[in-house]
Amino acid sequence: MNIGALHSILLVLSTVHAFQYNQLAQYIDEHQEDYVEALRDWVAVESDSSNVLRRSELHRMMEMVAQKLQQMGGSVESVDIGEQELPDKQRLALPKVVTAQFGTDPTKHTLCVYGHVDVQPAKLEDGWATDPFNLTEINGNLYGRGASDNKAPVLAWMHAVEAYQKLSLELPVNVKFVIEGMEETGSNGLEAMILAQKDSFFSDVDYIVVSDCGWLSRRPAITYGTRGNCYFLAEVRGPKQDLHSGVYGGTVIEPMIDLIGILDTLISPSGKILVPGIREAVAPLSDDEWRMYQDIEFDVDDYKNKIGVSKLMYNNKVDLLAHKWRYPTVSIHGIEGAFSDPGTKTVIPSKVCAKFSIRQVPNMDPAVVEKKVSEHLHSVFAKRHSPNTLTVSMVIGAKPWLADIQHPLYEAGKAAVKRVFSVDPDLIREGGTIPISRTFQDVTGKSIIMMPIGGFDDGLHSQNEKISRFDLSDFCFLSVVLFLQMLTQQLKKNTRGRSALDYFSESY
């Protein structure tokens, strides 16, 4: 087909879109109360994945998800992902992963929605103003654990499919769902499930969308990258037991002093990582990226006030965003075996183990980082000529994730945000790690987009988590619009058998 024909199709299509947009928007507006009630039912389930005493609630939550998708007419499966072993060696069934499919038209693109319905712990006594498992509305905000992370977004994607169904409009894309119940504790069992279904459930998936993060400011955002993390243990062992500093101090070489000495060689006071070979691996900041950061809405003073500090590592927006998202950093988390109780015990600990982590960004490779860190620590330790022994191990090696923002999926995402909020989204990254995006990318080879909504002050993982009732509708609308935008991308690409014209005349 020539470009002229394509343009005229897109023009007709946008007229059809305009009509559908209005119908869908009206439907969603009229059903806001239903969406609130659906969220109320889900929030009432204390699906805390970290509390083994709540495991039956978590199983019940997964059943509710499966039931909802079944009622919508999807082909639904509850996938058994096995058991988890608790620290006391007891074994406990993991919550099933629910998958569902709406539409199998091979001429359409298939969008797979990932979400989770487990939550962080919450108790009224933690300082909640309302019962965390009784959704409570105050000034248009709906307070409840899991409201924003991640129950409302999961429901919004489902309600988006439902809106098409109820209006008897054909879904512009095939939609699949993968909903899990262990995200808050590390997505136990999910990676194996994705690997196992790589050539079945995931074989026809074209794109994956995740809505499990927040905006950076009041401006809508799309997330295209997350940092990874390498977590290390560095243990120094010395005398065979703890010693009294009055009796032995001055005669023994203390493991804690060795440990602190080597930890101090990881990063400089100005934030420069001192381990050779780490900074060298970081992808350089391009001019385009620098310009993008300049345009992002981010208030340095607000950020400072929120944390309660008088000075940050950098004092301008671009450096701060860059170091939050796309540069590695070292954080020291704690020292096991160190005396940390109140009081003044004069102990010389015989064995201490430091925990620190290094956030990962392109083009760092956790395997290389492990080697470099271990070599570096052993080399500085050797210079101390200590009789103590050092062991270094890496216990987590999560890779960073970065999407290609030129990909048509991002064109569709940006257009959808613009259509719903009438502004261009900020393209942002997350400084934290969402390993599942990288896993999806590596295992399925598909493009992933993160489309958050609201959330910058939603209090995820914190007291008084909430989502605005208007975000419920906006989110749903964003989802339906993304479906339509993807249809446009589908036509532009026109990579599937039939011509775009055939498809267009049959569908509408």
Which residues bind to Zn ion, rule: CB under 5 A?
149-150, 212
In the chain, the amino acid numbered 316 is N
Residue 419, both tokens: 């259509």
Q: What is the CA radius of gyration of the chain?
A: 26
Angle between the N-to-C axes of helices 366-382 and 255-263, in degrees from 0 to 180, rounded to the nearest 10: 130
Rounded distance, CA 458 to CA 470, Å? Answer: 13
CB of 459 to Zn ion, least distance (A): 13
CB of 223 to Zn ion, least distance (A): 13
* Best CA proximity match to 256, nearest among 230, 282, 237, 229: 237
Considering the complex, state which of residue 48 and residue 212 has its C-beta at the smaller distance from Zn ion. Answer: 212
Catalytic: which of 46, 149, 180, 183?
183
Angle between the N-to-C axes of helices 152-166 and 32-43, in degrees from 0 to 180, rounded to the nearest 10: 140
| Element containing residue 49 per DSSP (H, E) | none
Question: Which residue in this structure is represented by tokens 């103003």?
Answer: 129
CB of 119 to Zn ion, least distance (A): 9
Considering the complex, state which of residue 154 and residue 234 has its C-beta at the smaller distance from Zn ion. Answer: 154
Cis upstream peptide for 363 (omega within 30°)? yes
**Three-state secondary structure string covering 137-168:** EECCEEECCCHHHHHHHHHHHHHHHHHHHHCC
CB of 314 to Zn ion, least distance (A): 28
What's the CA dihedral at 340, 345, 348, 351 to 10 degrees? -30
For the question of residue 183 being annotated catalytic, the response is: yes
Under 8 Å CB-to-CB from 286, ≥6 apart: which residues? Answer: none
Residue 387, both tokens: 């009789």
Q: Could you report how far apart the first and last alpha carbons of the chain are, in Å?
A: 20
Burial (0-12, 13-18, 19+ Cβ within 10 Å), 186: middle
Considering the complex, state which of residue 150 and residue 187 has its C-beta at the smaller distance from Zn ion. Answer: 150
Considering the complex, state which of residue 114 and residue 164 has its C-beta at the smaller distance from Zn ion. Answer: 114
Considering the complex, state which of residue 150 and residue 197 has its C-beta at the smaller distance from Zn ion. Answer: 150
Distance (Å) of CA 193 to CA 13, 23, 177, 456, 467: 38, 38, 14, 31, 31
CB of 146 to Zn ion, least distance (A): 9
Considering the complex, state which of residue 182 and residue 348 has its C-beta at the smaller distance from Zn ion. Answer: 182
In the chain, the amino acid numbered 420 is V
Rounded distance, CA 503 to CA 16, Å? Answer: 14
Considering the complex, state which of residue 170 and residue 191 has its C-beta at the smaller distance from Zn ion. Answer: 191
Considering the complex, state which of residue 212 and residue 254 has its C-beta at the smaller distance from Zn ion. Answer: 212
**Three-state secondary structure string covering 401-422:** EECCCCCHHHHHHHHHHHHHHC
Residue 276, both tokens: 């050779």
CB of 209 to Zn ion, least distance (A): 14
Catalytic: which of 46, 118, 254, 474?
118
Rounded distance, CA 314 to CA 319, Å? Answer: 6
For the question of residue 126 being annotated catalytic, the response is: no
CB of 37 to Zn ion, least distance (A): 22
Work out the number of other CB atoms within 10 angstroms of the CB of residue 126.
12
In the chain, the amino acid numbered 223 is T
CB of 166 to Zn ion, least distance (A): 28
- For the annotated catalytic residues, the residue numbers are 118, 183
